[in-house]
Amino acid sequence: MGINEIIVYIMVVFMALGAIDKCLGNKFGLGEKFEEGFMAMGSLAIAMIGVICLAPVLANILEPVIVPVFNFLGADPGMFGGTLLANDMGGASLSKALAVDSQAGMFGGLIVGSMMGVTIVFTIPVALGIIEKEDHKFLAMGVLAGVITIPLGAFVGGLVAGFPIIMVLKNLIPIVIIAALIALGLWKFENAIVKGFTVFGK
């Protein structure tokens, strides 16, 4: 049994406990959380489906700007999707639509999208909505530490996925630049960057 199956079984056990508690009248407080999980699915699905449907339109709008910039940097335009959007929120679709090389599209949309895209479009906005305002600086420093490691994580992920090392290194150039800019912004202009992420998340 692999780690993935173990995690799924743990989730199933707790889901079953929540369902049973809901049937028993929420005696242990698990039933309420079980119901909250189902209630959250609708709003999450609307956001995710909306961005996925918007991805081809974004590709058409952004292509004249993004393609020359990424070509100038020596990277495939398909890297852009995962840089801006999470892989399951349109990043993979946008990368596929913009990619010249299908491998670069998969690398950008799936691997980079699961690290940088999800941080920008989901983790930061959701975290900003959950934590208290006085704790935003701690969030900023935590994100700063995480963003710095994204190029390294994407590099290792690309190699594990079996992509050619030259292709991975070449396409990581814009990711390194963007990660450095985000890190610098969170370090020097924390309030402005946090406000920008809040607006972008909405």
What count of residues does the chain have?
Answer: 202
Q: Please determine, for residue 199, whether its predicted confidence score (pLDDT) is greater than 70.
A: no
Q: In terms of pLDDT, which residue wins out, 14 or 56?
A: 14
| Amino acid 197: pLDDT | 65
Rg (CA), the chain: 19
Q: Please determine, for residue 61, whether its predicted confidence score (pLDDT) is greater than 90.
A: no
From the list 102, 19, 34, 90, the residue with the least C-alpha distance to 58 is 90
Q: Please determine, for residue 130, whether its predicted confidence score (pLDDT) is greater than 60.
A: yes
Q: What is the pTM (predicted TM-score) of this model?
A: 0.70
Torsion, Cα 130 135 139 144, to 10 degrees, reads: 160
Most confident region among 47-56, 73-82, 117-126, 134-143 by mean pLDDT: 73-82
| Amino acid 160: pLDDT | 94
Query: What is the H or E stretch that residue 41 is in?
Result: helix 30-72
Arithmetic mean of pLDDT, 179-188: 81
